[in-house]
Amino acid sequence: MSDNGGTAAPLLAARDLARTHGRTRALTGASADLHAGEILAVTGPSGSGKSTLLHCLAGIVRPDAGTVTYAGQRLDDLPEKRLSELRRTEFGVVFQFGQLIPELTAVDNVALPLLLAGVPRTDARAAAGEWLERFGVRGQAGLRPGELSGGQAQRTALARALVTSPKIVFADEPTGALDSLASEQVMTALVTTARESGTAVLLITHDAQVAAYADRELRLTDGTVAAGVAL
C-alpha cells in the first residue's frame, strides 16, 4: 500500500472541476489528489461523473471550470500538442474494451507508443514482447485482437499502457467487460506491475471487488466527491 504520510505533494491534483455535456452536468466541483505510487479507486453509480473525471485528469478533455495540476504544471492550460505528448510518455490509458487496433498483432499494438516516440522498430517490438511476458500473454504476441480472449486483450492493453514506463496509468472500467476470473487476472497483473514500477494508478470502477485492490477510494455522487476512504 502506498504511504505518503499525509505530507507529500500529490503527483496529480484536481480542484473544483466542472464539466457539462450538452445539458448534462457531469462534474460539479469535484476535487481529487493522486500521489506517486498510489492506487486510487474512483467509484460511484452510473452517470456520477467517474469517466468524465478521468478524462479531465488525463487531459483527454478540458474542464469547463477548475484546475488540474500534474507535477507542478497546469494541465488545463497546456496546448493539445503537449497533452498528446504526455499521453504518449508519462500517462498510460486503458479503457473498458481495450481499444486495441484490430489490424495490428498484439506485439505491434504494445510497441505502438514506443514507435510513436521514435524508438527503432526492433527495440520497440523487443520491449513489447517483454511486457507481454510480464502480463502472461507472450504466447499470443502474433495474434490480432479478434483472436484474443477478453482477458488476453485487456492484459495486452495494460502492457501497451505500461510499455513507456508512465508515471500514471488511467484505467477506466478495465474489467467491466470481463468475467470474474479474467477480472481477477487483469487486476492482479495491473497491481503487481504498478507496485513493482512505482506507477500511480487511477482506477474507475463500479465493482467493489475491483476497488478493493486500491489503497484509497473516492466515491462520486452527482458529479462531486462524496467521500474518500482508505481501503
The model's pLDDT over 127-138, given as tens digits with 9 standing for 90+, comes to 999 999 988 899
Residue 3 located in a structural domain: no
Note the helical H segments in the chain: 50-57, 80-89, 106-116, 121-134, 150-162, 180-197, 208-211
Strand partners for 229: 217
The model's pLDDT over 28-44, given as tens digits with 9 standing for 90+, comes to 999 999 999 999 999 98
Domain range for 110 is 101-161
- The predicted structure's pLDDT at residue 230: 47
Residue 220 located in a structural domain: no
pTM: 0.89
Comparing 56 with 224, the larger pLDDT belongs to 56
| Average pLDDT of the segment spanning 57-71 | 93
- The predicted structure's pLDDT at residue 24: 85
Query: pLDDT exceeding 90 applies to what percent of the chain?
Result: 63
Residue 111 located in a structural domain: yes
Residue 122 located in a structural domain: yes
Total structural domains in the chain? 1
Q: What is the average pLDDT value for the chain, to the nearest integer?
A: 89
Evaluate if residue 201 carries a pLDDT over 90.
yes
Evaluate if residue 188 carries a pLDDT over 60.
yes
Evaluate if residue 204 carries a pLDDT over 80.
yes
3-class SS of residue 182: helix
Residue 134 located in a structural domain: yes
Residue 113 located in a structural domain: yes
Comparing 22 with 172, the larger pLDDT belongs to 172
- The predicted structure's pLDDT at residue 7: 61
Residue 6 located in a structural domain: no
pLDDT tier, 4 (very low <50, low <70, confident <90, very high otherwise) = low
CA distance 107 to 55: 26
Contacts of 7 (CB under 8 A, 6+ apart): none
Query: pLDDT exceeding 70 applies to what percent of the chain?
Result: 94
Evaluate if residue 84 carries a pLDDT over 60.
yes
Residue 219 located in a structural domain: no
113 with 164: CB under 8 angstroms?
yes
- The predicted structure's pLDDT at residue 125: 97
